[in-house]
Chain A
């Protein structure tokens, strides 16, 4: 029997206080670096939370998250180039990603375990080739498509984008909590512990995993769209690149897979690494790869997983909950 670790309950007031402080930062004129840090943190957090939902709770190692990010970026381009507002573009990106997730789930949901991972690995590669060849809007340049500027961003200030990012980051935490305490989450936990038993108790495994996959696609796409609003430029090689997958896996694994607060800790570390290693851009990915391998071997449950085993943390937790 698998003992469920204590889930964080309550703590809503400190949580809201932190949110308000973070949201107020641009108004009180915090340094630009801080804002950038929190912006990236929120974007990565939303994506990492969704990856944790898929990997940690559904057992789906999805390597196709860049597909949703890239699609969101390109939807934003297509919307803004056709004169539609940027905000509609974000929603459009979410809808496109959801539709795409449902479409690719037809072949890849027939796969299990490691086959699923490889099946999903192919998807962003296909999209990358398509978007290298295809120019959805605008004039053809040298007969091939490639990068696009995102139009219509003049009406959106950096502060607005910051708030959007913060919103999706915070929303993803709430969403995770909502999912895990709902029927969907209970079903997922049952599947994770023993899928045969779950299936025989009337849980529709396929449907629950599909729901999670689509929810993951939507949130990842929204976060991706907001990220590209700040970049103002989309091009296929980085938009559908493995670098995204790396960041998400790293954030989740460092923090702790299938632990609710794992991605939060992991993302803080990832963003810190991001800035620490910015000077050594060349070797930064090598270092990240080494960290990933090391953590996976030495502390496969991540920081939170390891912390939870220590008595100090548990006493602290109990004290915090007033027990």
Chain B
């Protein structure tokens, strides 16, 4: 019994730490979803764009990927802002499916843009600490997994404070709760929406960097991470930061335990099937009110 537990401790710890990464990936999706009721199908590709941006900064300027976020976050913020302001804002008025189809188009543009600029080869953000790790009891934990988890905590606390304490954050919360009422209170919701999309994209830049540190990525990886992010949002419920965190950890555990019991090839199937089952059983999310 003890041996089984000791054996399981590695996937358990790694799953929880990986859950941190997944919750950061999902935060941007959750924010856009929560505020604008839009499922941004291009979210995965924005994350991957963040990874590639860090990759370019790292290989050309020799700056550490985590430090490169100083550049990456503003760049992605701008891209997100422009997407919402000039494309999505119009789409909302057209029809129910227009935003989805436009997001789908943007996703393909981003995906192929990455493919042309960075070739379809698999890349990774390889740094001096990529292979570093430490032992925790019986388990061996790679350092980047711990960094993922710390990053998740930092991003989530910052976002929470931002939404709760600043004027802009409160305006975003207000717009997400009731668009009409917040407009009547003098909030420019169109601008708030564009800013929210920008912030979500900036968080995607963070997610992209830690994703690149943890896994190899290709221009086509976007869909896989979109599905993971969506699973996390569905598990955690809308607009709840804590819920997103818990959802991320559950999916992280599902992946590492699935990989432990059924082999590494099957771990993604495990996540996908889980997303489908959750959708079928409780589409409004497990932790939602």
Contacts and interface: CB of A to CB of B under 8 A. Distances in A.
A320 interface: no
B283 interface: yes
A242 interface: yes
Interface in B95-120: 95-98, 100-102, 104-109, 111-113, 115-116
Contacts of A129: 265, 268-269, 272
B279 A293 contact: no
Interface in A282-307: 282-283, 285-286, 288-290, 292-293, 296-297, 300
Contacts of B97: 55, 59, 61, 257
Contacts of B283: 110-112, 115
Contacts of B113: 286
Contacts of A321: none
A119 B227 contact: no
Contact of A119 (B95, B96, B279): B279
B87 interface: yes
A13 to B, nearest CB: 36
B63 interface: no
B280 interface: yes
A72 B273 CA distance: 22
Contacts of A257: 97
Contacts of A249: 101, 104
A289 B94 contact: no
Interface of A: 55, 59, 61, 63, 106-108, 110-115, 117-119, 121-123, 125-126, 129-130, 132-133, 144, 242, 245-246, 249, 253, 257, 282-283, 285-286, 288-290, 292-293, 296-297, 300
Interface in B190-248: 223-224, 226-227, 230
Contacts of A285: 108-109, 111-112
Contacts of B105: 289-290, 292-293, 296
Interface of B: 38-39, 41, 87, 90-91, 94-98, 100-102, 104-109, 111-113, 115-116, 223-224, 226-227, 230, 265-266, 268-269, 272-273, 275-277, 279-280, 283
Given A119-B279, A289-B106, A297 B39 contact: no
Given A118-B41, A125-B223, A242-B108, 9 more contacts: A107-B279, A113-B96, A122-B227, A126-B273, A283-B116, A289-B106, A290-B109, A292-B102, A293-B102
B269 A126 contact: yes
Nearest to A119: B279
Contacts of A123: 276
B106 A296 contact: no
Contact of B223 (A133, A242, A290): A242
Residue picked from A111, A245, A293, most chain B C-beta under 10 Å: A293
A117 B269 contact: no
Contact of A121 (B38, B109, B223): B223
B272 A125 contact: yes
Contacts of A107: 276-277, 279-280
Nearest to B39: A114
A166 B246 CA distance: 52
A293 B272 contact: no
Residue picked from B38, B101, B102, B111, most chain A C-beta under 10 Å: B101
B101 A296 contact: yes
29 contacts: A59-B97, A61-B97, A106-B280, A107-B276, A107-B280, A108-B279, A111-B280, A114-B38, A114-B100, A119-B276, A121-B41, A121-B226, A122-B227, A122-B275, A123-B276, A125-B223, A125-B224, A125-B272, A129-B268, A242-B108, A242-B223, A246-B108, A282-B116, A292-B101, A292-B105, A293-B102, A296-B91, A296-B98, A300-B98
Nearest to B268: A129
Nearest to A106: B280
Nearest to A283: B116
Contacts of A296: 91, 94, 98, 101-102, 105
Nearest to A290: B109
Contacts of A292: 101-102, 104-105, 108
B227 A125 contact: yes
B109 A297 contact: no
Contacts of A289: 105-109, 112
A117 B100 contact: yes
B278 to A, nearest CB: 9
Contacts of B116: 282-283, 286
Residue picked from B39, B41, B108, most chain A C-beta under 10 Å: B108
Contacts of B265: 129, 132-133, 144
A135 to B, nearest CB: 12
Residue picked from A112, A286, A288, most chain B C-beta under 10 Å: A286
A297 B94 contact: yes
Nearest to A110: B280
B105 to A, nearest CB: 4
A293 B280 contact: no
Contacts of A118: 39, 41, 227, 230, 279
Contacts of B224: 125
Nearest to B110: A289
A140 B110 CA distance: 36
Contacts of A106: 280
